[in-house]
Amino acid sequence: MTFSSSYSPPLVCEVCGSILLLPNGAGDRTCPNCFRDALDPVTQGEQVVQGTPEGIVPFAIGPDEALRRLDTFTQAIPFRPKEIEEGALRQRLRQTYLPVWLVDADLETIWKAEVGYHYQVVSHKEDYVSGAWRTREVKETRTRWEPRVGRMQTRIDNVPAPALDGFMQLMRQLDGFDLKRMQPFAPEHLNGAAIRLAARTTQDAWVDAEPRVQEAASGEVQRAATADEIRDFAWAQPQFQHNWTQVLVPVYTTYYLDDDDEKQVLFVNGVTGTVNGDRRASMRRAQPRALIFGGIGLAAGAISIVLALVLLLVFPPAALVGLAGLAVAVGFGVAAISPVVRVMQFNNRTQNAQVWKTTLTKTSQ
């Protein structure tokens, strides 16, 4: 596949398995998906899925806006890793186009389903209000179900199907890509971004697309029957004619190192700016504060005890001052523990969550 002479031959990442093209002369030769330095030319034994993109959804937000979104996303981390504070996300920001398949399916099939029509039932309820019974009219919507069978011949257009493993999950996490923004593919749109090549064939992708095609066919039957609902849609021996198109969609990627020096990759939707990725609070940054508060607490505690003992000998009622000192010491103790607890809680919570989303307001560009 040649996009233009300004790209490398296909490279494979030995860590994450991405197959990609990098712009010639790109300073950064790491993988834009996992940021490991393990890219090798694709050998003849390795399978590269054929297919040239016919459509592209160009980047709609610039790097500065992507960084602003990343900043908002990472602001939610208590004790952000030092690298983020130092601007690592900006230095490592990369632009990549990811492939996705779109399928148009000409479909001919026999189907059966139950279609539902709403109707209203009026009943009367008695309420006891202020010492008297009152009759109230209650309207209730019910559904009348009717079995139907038929033959259909239709065309379902632009059903997305993953060209990369795990793509649908990423797409959900990044709020999807608006395919209405799709334009015919032209190398000028690439603008030096890396390009991931499809890893799934159209046959593999069809497994994911077929349920969506069926859903669309079911919707068509519902509309044709002017029904309010449809259930138990099934088809028998459907015949398909497929037309596959490959489309490129834009993402920014970058990463920071967490306390364990693990690379945590963050993704930004190149159209909507939605950010996703692992947020890890830094225990390393929480510890100094914990130590300072802990030290003050210990010192205050020790002084208070000595003071209380001395005052007990000299003037016993004044020993209460020592008790007050002890309370202050306990306060500092709690303040010492809380940053550590906050980091542990935050990291546990984010580790258990499947999807994180920032709620960002739309901004002008």
Question: How many CB atoms lie under 10 A from the CB of residue 309?
Answer: 12
265 binds Zn ion (CB under 5 A): no
Separation of alpha carbons 318 and 320, rounded Å: 5
42 scored as a contact of Zn ion (CB under 5 A): no
Q: How many residues does the chain have?
A: 365
Q: Please tell me whether residue 251 binds Zn ion under the rule CB under 5 A.
A: no
* 34 versus 326: smaller Cβ distance to Zn ion: 34
Report d(CA 217, CA 93) in Å as an integer. Answer: 42
- Would you state the structure tokens that stand for residue 69, as one six-digit string? 């979104």
Reference 69, options 336, 275, 247, 306; nearest CA is 275
Part of the chain binding Zn ion (CB under 5 A), chosen from 17-25, 76-84, 123-131, 332-340: 17-25
Nearer to Zn ion, 98 or 182 (CB): 98
Give the tokens for residue 167. 């793509």
Q: Which of 11, 19, 21, 31 binds Zn ion (CB under 5 A)?
A: 31
- The residue from 4, 6, 9, 16 that contacts Zn ion (CB under 5 A) is 16
Q: Closest CB to Zn ion among 33 and 74?
A: 33
- The rounded distance, in Å, linking the Cα atoms of 331 and 270 is 47
Tell me whether residue 34 or residue 168 sits nearer to Zn ion (CB atom).
Answer: 34
Of the ranges 34-42, 91-99, 113-121, 277-285, which one interacts with Zn ion (CB under 5 A)? 34-42
Q: What is the DSSP letter of 15?
A: T
For the CB of residue 167, give the shortest distance to Zn ion in the complex, in Å: 15
49 contacts 197 by C-beta, under 8 angstroms: yes
Interface with Zn ion includes 234 (CB under 5 A)? Answer: no
Q: How far is the CB of 48 from Zn ion (least distance, A)?
A: 16
> Is residue 198 a contact residue for Zn ion (CB under 5 A)?
no
Query: Residue 142: exposed, middle, or buried by beta-carbon count in 10 A (0-12, 13-18, 19+)?
Result: exposed
Pick the closer one to Zn ion by CB: 20 or 89: 20
Q: Which is nearer to Zn ion, 34 or 303 (CB)?
A: 34
Terminus-to-terminus CA distance in the chain, angstroms?
34
Q: Which is nearer to Zn ion, 13 or 308 (CB)?
A: 13
Residue 34 engages Zn ion in binding (rule: CB under 5 A): yes
What single string gives the DSSP state of each residue in 221-290? HHHHTT-SEEEEEEEEEEEEEEEEEEEEEEEEEEEEE-TT--EEEEEEETTT--EEE-----HHHHHHHH
Taking the complex as a whole, how short is the minimal distance between the CB of residue 36 and Zn ion, in angstroms? Answer: 5
Q: Does 13 bind Zn ion (CB under 5 A)?
A: yes
In the set 21, 22, 33, 190, which binds Zn ion (CB under 5 A)?
33
Q: In degrees rounded to 5, what are phi and psi of residue 329?
A: -60, -40
97: closest CA among 191, 216, 34?
Answer: 191
> Which of these segments, 11-19, 58-66, 125-133, 166-174, binds Zn ion (CB under 5 A)?
11-19
Rounded to the nearest whole angstrom, what is the least distance from the CB of residue 28 to Zn ion in the complex? 13
Q: Which is nearer to Zn ion, 20 or 283 (CB)?
A: 20
- Residues in contact with Zn ion by CB under 5 A are 13, 15-16, 18, 31, 33-34
